[in-house]
Amino acid sequence: MRAFLVVMDSVGIGGAPDADAFFNDGVPDTGADTLGHILDACAKGAAEKGRSGPLHLPTLSALGLCHAADLASGGARADDTVPMGRWGAATEVSKGKDTPSGHWELAGLPVPWDWHYFPDTTPAFPKDLTDEVCRIAGVGGVLANCHGSGTVMLEEFGADHIRTGFPICYTSADSVFQIAAHEEHFSLQRLLDLCEGLAPTLHKMKVGRVIARPFVGEPGNFTRTGNRHDYAITPPDPVLTNWVQDAGRRVYAVGKIGDIFTMTGIDEVRKGDDANLMGHLSDLIDEAEDGSLTFANFVEFDSLYGHRRNVSGYARHLEWFDAQLAGLLARLRPDDMLLITADHGNDPTWIGTDHTRERVPVVVAGCGEGTVGQIGFADVAATIAAHLGVQSHGPGRSFL
């Protein structure tokens, strides 16, 4: 038997009971519903760029996705079809709506501290921190020093970066410190060395990630490359990947999972854009050995469409994922489990540009049919551990 844990990054389904404590541009996330609002927009003909009509997700719907959405937020999205998979809605307890919080808790470890967030001011960073950036990079200053989206940062500061050599440093509503630099004018390796050298200082502050954001091009035509690298805090206690590896099993990371968990409990990493990652996941369905865990993250829902509030693009990506998923399910072995979930929301119809606090779907192929009800994020890890026959050390409970 094998387990495949697949995270559709940011595909929330609304209904978080504490959404009023999380904000976008000062507005609480109450009522945010990534999947539900995309369904509504498609039904109204308001998501017609590159696609058309109602959102078409036959594979995910057959597993119970819309039933899970109804359970999370009562939106009456499902029809009378009985799902062929197990389905439910998961609620997070960690006090963050970010990538590490969601993934750590899905892997059995609710975040045991409050993350440090930088104020939405200019400058956003304390002087001693920017001085450290300058010392490590050997430069006389930094650019931006504020909250902002990556594409806007390149448009506003890219030309000055090439002229001065100063790195572009910015943050968001997440606990992150991001550094953008040109791969040719600054050099990719120099950027990676800078982020790696700065990470220990930020991790002591409980900043979740330092993110290298390399780009190429010329003023007016800058493009981020696929050489992004996250330097995340190492989980302070063992997580699902450790439980599986410690039992003598192999663990594959697809996408940014290796970065999120700083390679703890991971044997092999396969990276690329989402199209490449789908190919890697497909290969592992054929190749992964008995008893193994494959942990995958498909980030472009979030990075390309959620943060950019692109409803049509998000809908297109959901339909692409659904079509690809159909071929994967047909090749699972009889005793495999494939569990699909998300780490947070990022409602593309919402105000602002940041994540939204939501419940997430849990739909499972290979473990029978029917609802698993309202569960916790950590129950995902416990369930996968139970399926693989390895010991669970977290607070979650298996729904098997």
In the numeric block, the tokens 């409970």 are attached to 397
302 belongs to an annotated ligand binding site:
yes
Which two structure tokens, joined as six digits, stand for 300? 């472009």
160 belongs to an annotated ligand binding site:
no
What number of other Cβ atoms are within 10 A of residue 76's Cβ?
Answer: 10
> CA 191, CA 218: separation in Å to the nearest integer?
18
Whole-Å CA distances, 319 to 58, 87, 88, 259: 9, 19, 21, 27
Say what the alpha-carbon torsion angle 18, 7, 149, 209 is, to the nearest 10 degrees.
Answer: 80
Q: Which of 80, 109, 111 is nearest to 95 (CA)?
A: 111
Residues in the chain, overall count: 400
Burial code of 324-351, b = ≥16 C-beta within 10 A, e = fewer? bbeebbeeeeeebbbbbbbbbbbbbbbe
Which two structure tokens, joined as six digits, stand for 309? 């509030």
182 belongs to an annotated ligand binding site:
no
Whole-Å CA distances, 214 to 64, 158, 180: 39, 11, 5
9 belongs to an annotated ligand binding site:
yes
161 belongs to an annotated ligand binding site:
no
Confirm if 318 and 361 have CB atoms less than 8 A apart: no
Which two structure tokens, joined as six digits, stand for 330? 């047909």
343 belongs to an annotated ligand binding site:
yes
Q: Which residues contribute to the annotated binding site for Mn(2+)?
A: 9, 302, 307, 343-344, 355
Q: Which residues contribute to the annotated binding site?
A: 9, 302, 307, 343-344, 355
